[in-house]
Amino acid sequence: MSWSAAQALPAPELDVERWFNTGAPLSLADLRGRVVLLHAFQMLCPACVQRATPQAQQVHERFGRAGVTVVGLHTVFEHHAAMQPVSLAAYIHENRLRFAIGVDRPDGQGGIPMTMRAYAMEGTPTAILIDRQGRERLRRFGHLDDLDLGAALGRLLAEG
Amino acid sequence: MSWSAAQALPAPELDVERWFNTGAPLSLADLRGRVVLLHAFQMLCPACVQRATPQAQQVHERFGRAGVTVVGLHTVFEHHAAMQPVSLAAYIHENRLRFAIGVDRPDGQGGIPMTMRAYAMEGTPTAILIDRQGRERLRRFGHLDDLDLGAALGRLLAEG
Amino acid sequence: MSWSAAQALPAPELDVERWFNTGAPLSLADLRGRVVLLHAFQMLCPACVQRATPQAQQVHERFGRAGVTVVGLHTVFEHHAAMQPVSLAAYIHENRLRFAIGVDRPDGQGGIPMTMRAYAMEGTPTAILIDRQGRERLRRFGHLDDLDLGAALGRLLAEG
Amino acid sequence: MSWSAAQALPAPELDVERWFNTGAPLSLADLRGRVVLLHAFQMLCPACVQRATPQAQQVHERFGRAGVTVVGLHTVFEHHAAMQPVSLAAYIHENRLRFAIGVDRPDGQGGIPMTMRAYAMEGTPTAILIDRQGRERLRRFGHLDDLDLGAALGRLLAEG
C-alpha cells in the first residue's frame, strides 16, 4: 500500500448503463471530497457473493457518515445472458444491498465492459479506493481483509 | 424427528422440466434403495447460497458412496425472470455444484412450481430426506444443522 | 468408518482421578445401553478449545435425550503444571461446559496419563465413539466434522 | 470514536510484574512515536481466546512495520489461582502468540490488578489505542470489529 499521493493519477470516470439504489446517476467528479470504495463485482461470482459484497455493504452502513461512499459496479465479463439487469435487481433485493450499484456499460460484443476496461481490472471482485481528490490510491483483486480495508479507509479519511 | 417409519407415506414423484449434472432424468422411483436428500433451493435465495447448497454439495461428495443421492430442485416461486435456466446454468458452473439439479416445472402462471406444490413446501431452502423405500422421513424449512443432518442420514443408512 | 461390529473390542475402562459436572463417578460399564462420545482434550490445546470441545457440548445438549452420553476426559500429557484441576475448574466454568468431565489419572511421572495410555491415543483432541455394548466403534485424532460425527451417532443410535 | 486529540490525556503507565515475548520490559514512555494497541485479556476469558487475542496477534503481524506495537496485558481479576504465570506461559506457547505480554501486577488481595485499576477498565477483553504522543484515543470493552479497529489504526498512523 503506497501512500505517496503525489504520483497518484485521477481515477477514470464511471461509464454506467443503469443505476440501482440511487435517485440520480453518480459520477466520481460529483464525489470529490468523499472517500470512495469502488466495489466491482458480478452477481454470480462466488467470492463476491460470500465476502466482498457483504463487506461493501458493511462499509456503506458504518462509514457513510464518516465520509465514505460505496459505489458498486456490476462488471459482467462472462455469462452475460445469466446476469442481465433483471437478475441483478432480484439479487440486490434478496441480499438487501443498499449502496448505489451501477451496471458497467457493455462493450456490445459480449466482452469486458467499458469501466472495467478503462481501469484495466483483472477480474472480480476488485476493490478500488479513491481519495477525496478523485485519485486511485489502493486496488485489490480478490479478497481485501477487513483490517487492511479499515486501515486504508482510516488513512484516507484522515487526509481531510 | 420421528422415526416411526410405519406411517410414512411415499414421497411425491419429481416433476422436472430440465436437468443439469445428470445424463438421464432422475426419478424417485429409480432411486429406491438409496437414501435421498432432496434439496429445494433458489439460486438467488441468500440462505440457500450461503449454507444449504454448499451443505448439499458436501453431502454429495462425502456420502455418495455410502448410499446417499443428493437431488437439487430449483423451485422458483418468485423473481421468475431473474432465475431462468440460463442463469441457473451459470450459477451451477461458478459454484462447482456436481450433484444432479432439476428445474421444478413452472405452473405456467408465474406461481409455485409443480413439485414444490405437490410437497406443499413452505419456501427455500427446504431439505427433505427420503428413505430407501421412497418415503419422506424428515423435512426442514430453513437451516438444517450439520450434526442433525448427519444423524438423520446415519439413521436412514443404518436401516439397510 | 467400519461398522463391522463383530470384531470390535470392549473399550478400556476409564481411570479418572476426579470428576466435574457429575454427582457420581462415571464408568463405561454403567453406560452400557448408551452411545458414548468420549472427548479427550486439554484445556490449553487450541484445536480443542476452538472446535472439538464446543462440538462435544453441542452433542451433549442435542443428543442426550436421544441416547448419547458425552464424557470429557482431560488428558494432560504436556504443560502439566499449567493445567491442574484448579485451572480446569475455571475453564469449565467460563466456557459453560455441562457434560461430565474426568481428569485422566496422572502417571505420577509427568508423562501420558493412564486412560490416554490404555487407549493408545495419539494426542488431543481425540473423539472416540463407543456403542451400546461398550465397544469402540470410531476414533478420530484431530477434527471430526459435524456431518461425519452426526452420521456416526445416527448409525450407532439406530443399532437399538 | 472521537478524534479530538486536543483533550486526550496521557495513558497511565503500565505496571507489570513479569513480561513474556520481550527481552526488556516495555513502557509506554519508551513507545512514544509508535501507535500502541493495548490488549487487556485473561487466558480463560472465552471472548478473548476466540476473537480478541487472535485479532491482537493479527495486528502484531501485519501492522508492526507500519508503526503499531501490540502490548498484551494479562489482567487477572477472577480465578486467580487458575491463571498463574505458569499457565499463561503454556497458553502463549500453545497459541503461538508473538507480541509482548505483561502480567498486570496483582493488588495482593486477590482483586483487580494495578494497571487495570489505573485505567478503570470494565472487564476483558478491552482494547485501548494509544497515539504516538502517548494519549489514549479509543477504548472498547468487548469485541472491536476488524473494520473499526483497522480504521482507527489507519487514522492514528496517518497522524504522523
* Amino acid (1-letter code) at residue A32: R
CB contact under 8 A, A146 and D147: yes
Contacts of C4 (CB under 8 A, 6+ apart): none
Residue C100 has pLDDT above 60, yes or no: yes
The pLDDT, as a whole number, for residue B96 is: 98
Alpha carbon distances (Å) from A155 to C6, C70, D150, D151: 67, 51, 10, 7
Written in H, E and C, the secondary structure of C50-96 is HHHHHHHHHHHHHHCCCCEEEEEEECCCCCHHHHCHHHHHHHHHHCC
Q: What is the pLDDT of residues D60-78, one digit of tens each?
A: 999 999 999 999 999 999 9
The pLDDT, as a whole number, for residue D6 is: 58
The pLDDT, as a whole number, for residue C160 is: 79
Query: Could you give the 3-state DSSP secondary structure of residue D45?
Result: coil
The residue among C36 and D8 whose pLDDT is bigger is C36
- Those of residues 84-143 in B touching chain A at CB distance below 8 A are 86-87, 89-91, 93-95
CATH number at B10-133+144-158 = 3.40.30.10
**Does domain A9-158 correspond to CATH entry 3.40.30.10?**
yes
Confidence of residue C72 (pLDDT cuts 50, 70, 90): very high
Q: Collect the ranges in chain A with pLDDT lower than 50.
A: 1-2
Give the distance from residue D160's alpha carbon to the nearest chain C alpha carbon, in angstroms.
Answer: 38
Residues above pLDDT 70, as percent of chain D: 96
Residues above pLDDT 90, as percent of chain B: 94
Query: Model-level pTM?
Result: 0.93
The pLDDT, as a whole number, for residue A8 is: 76
The pLDDT, as a whole number, for residue D53 is: 98
Quick count: other Cβ atoms within 10 Å of Cβ B5? 12
- Predicted confidence pLDDT, tens digits, chain B (160 residues): 545 555 678 999 999 999 999 999 999 999 999 999 999 999 999 999 999 999 999 999 999 999 999 999 999 999 999 999 999 999 999 999 999 999 999 999 999 999 999 999 999 999 999 999 999 999 999 999 999 999 999 999 999 7
The pLDDT, as a whole number, for residue D7 is: 67
The C-alpha atoms of residue B65 and residue B68 are separated, in whole angstroms, by 7
Of all residues in chain C, the one with the smallest CA distance to B1 is C66
Contacts of B108 (CB under 8 A, 6+ apart): none
φ/ψ region of D142 (left if φ > 0, alpha if ψ in -120 to 50, else beta) reads left
CATH number at D16-21+33-132+146-158 = 3.40.30.10
Written in H, E and C, the secondary structure of chain B is CCCCHHHCCECCCCCEEEEECCCCCCCCHHHCCCEEEEEEECCCCHHHHHHHHHHHHHHHHHHCCCCEEEEEEECCCCCHHHHCHHHHHHHHHHCCCCCEEEEECCCCCCCCCHHHHHHCCCCCCEEEEECCCCEEEEEEECCCCHHHHHHHHHHHHHCC
The pLDDT, as a whole number, for residue B52 is: 98
Nearest to A150 among D66, D151, D159 (CB): D151
C and D: number of Cβ contacts within 8 A: 41
Which of C15, C14, C16, C20 shows the shortest CA–CA distance to C91? C20
**Does domain C11-158 correspond to CATH entry 3.40.50.300?**
no
A and B: number of Cβ contacts within 8 A: 41
**Mutation for testing the B interface, residue in A79, A80, A88, A93 having most B CBs under 10 Å:** A79
Confidence of residue D8 (pLDDT cuts 50, 70, 90): confident
Nearest to B58 among C147, C149, C152 (CB): C147
Residue spans of the domains in chain D: they are 16-21+33-132+146-158
